[in-house]
Chains A and B, each alone.
Chain A
Amino acid sequence: MTEKNGQKQVVVPGEIISQDENMLPGDWTIKEGNNIIAIRLGVVEKQDRLIKIIPLSGVYIPRRGNVIIGEIRDMNYSGWMVDIGGPYGAFLTLKEVPGYVEESEMENVYGIGDLIVTKVFNVKRTAVDLTMKQREGGLGKIKEGLIVRVNPHRVPRIIGKEGSMIKLIKDATKCMITVGQNGLIWIKGDNVEDRIYAKKAIEFIVENTTTNGLTEKVEKWLAENKSGVKK
């Protein structure tokens, strides 16, 4: 019921996915009687007895551990208010920033309008807590580079299995790329041409996410569209 010619089927809100009384309702599904019903547009995924929906669209839903890119909107004596997309605002407290920051220094560390690579460490009912501390580093203020926005649900495809897809792009474009789970992507490179090349490669992936053999297609695209080469 969920697979058709190997392509996952899209289900719509209200659609009955299963009538097997043994199945359990996962993300974006509810159980009514014996029926598992979808409550969000997406594709069905079955794991043993659990049925869940992987959304294809809609705003970003924060999850603990997500590395994302947010914009500083405001600040008060205890921290910064950050816009990360999604339904709720996020907060970064002073103590979640490495080192000691005086209240008077806050503006210099992260000012209003600055973009930061940050991590979700707690998701509350109507708010999200962020941290700038991560063992492996990589979090901080974005000072230069290009920002690309994509549908957050395309991010897994852009990253690829164990990062294979994004590695392809990094190698070909010689850019450092940070993919935020909320759909913002930071491209850092020496030349603006390289950054634009990487941006276009990412847009190519986004336009072709449902195609089979995407990896080969991306490799081909990268070879044919080297930066600086005008078509």
Chain B
Amino acid sequence: MSEKSLYTERADGRKLDELRPLHAEIGVVPNADGSALFAQGDTIAIASVYGPKTLNPKHQQNPEKGVLRVHYNMLSFSVGERIRPGVSRRSQEISKVTEWALTPVVMLDELPGTVIDVHINILQANAGTRCAGINAAAMALAHAGVPMKELVSAVAVGKMDKTIVADVNKEEEDFEDGEGATDMPMAYLSNSGKITLLQLDGRIQLNKFKEALEMGKQACKKISEVQINALKEFK
């Protein structure tokens, strides 16, 4: 018989698998070839895409396929305690895993010698920022007319003590009772069923991990619908 979890009701009243209110918009940066905003509750990310364009200097080009360059960063005032403007080790890491999350769907073979720049900035942070960033970036890439096999959707699944929840917010991220908080950001391709981002910090049993993955997949499918609807609003 399983022990009871110390976290049975979510602080903001959501159901365990319920996402925060989602809002998606394209075209928020007129200068860019493609751009989008994606908000999950109080976490707001904007992304813009420039390219495909010829990569210079020439020696950095890949003659076989295009290159995706991703930069993620948070604005100094997006969080409670100010972040000094500029790149941090955290933003470097997130930039890289985001690049790895998006690259599998972009048809870079069609674009040898080119580069596609993806810029992600977080305006307001309430946990799940890299996921909101991926969601915005996938839309921005599609808006930019980049050939893609499908969209990418991301969500942070969590375990608070023994309870698995979808779309963790900041309060939940800071949960400390019992087994504490485990945070698992993941990105999922809704058509092919593949996972392109997977990170975890905390402590989770294997059977709970399986449950979390399943909940994450379902959550990502819902996010995918929101992304698609926003793209179809294109004028």
Contacts and interface: CB of A to CB of B under 8 A. Distances in A.
Interface of A: 9-10, 12-15, 28, 37, 39-42, 55-59, 87-89, 125-126, 209-210
Candidate in A10, A56, A87, A89 with the most chain B CB atoms within 10 angstroms: A87
Interface string B38-63: 00000000000001111000000001
A118 to B, nearest CB: 18
B150 A14 contact: yes
A88 B33 contact: no
Interface of B: 33-34, 51-54, 63, 66, 105, 107, 111-114, 142-151, 190-191, 227-228, 231-232, 234-235
A41 B143 CA distance: 7
A231 B168 CA distance: 53
Interface of B is mostly: loop
Nearest to B229: A12
B30 to A, nearest CB: 10
A59 B148 contact: no
Nearest to A41: B142
Nearest to B232: A10
A2 to B, nearest CB: 13
Given A40-B146, A210-B235, 12 more contacts: A12-B228, A13-B148, A13-B150, A14-B148, A14-B149, A40-B147, A40-B148, A58-B144, A59-B33, A59-B51, A87-B66, A89-B54
Nearest 7 CB-CB pairs, A to B? A58-B145, A14-B150, A13-B148, A87-B52, A87-B114, A57-B145, A10-B232
B24 to A, nearest CB: 12
Given A12-B232, A56-B234, A57-B234, A39 B148 contact: yes
B34 A58 contact: yes
A126 B191 contact: no
Contact of B142 (A12, A37, A88): A12
B191 A59 contact: no
Contacts of B114: 87-88
B226 to A, nearest CB: 12
A78 to B, nearest CB: 17
B112 A125 contact: yes
Given A87-B52, A88-B113, A125-B112, A39 B33 contact: no
Contacts of B234: 10, 41, 56-57
B199 to A, nearest CB: 24
B144 A57 contact: yes
B54 A88 contact: yes
A127 to B, nearest CB: 9
Given A10-B231, A125-B112, A57 B148 contact: no
29 contacts: A10-B232, A12-B228, A12-B231, A13-B147, A13-B151, A14-B149, A14-B151, A28-B147, A39-B107, A40-B145, A40-B146, A41-B142, A42-B145, A57-B34, A57-B143, A57-B234, A58-B33, A58-B144, A59-B33, A59-B51, A59-B53, A59-B145, A87-B52, A87-B54, A87-B111, A87-B114, A88-B54, A88-B113, A126-B113
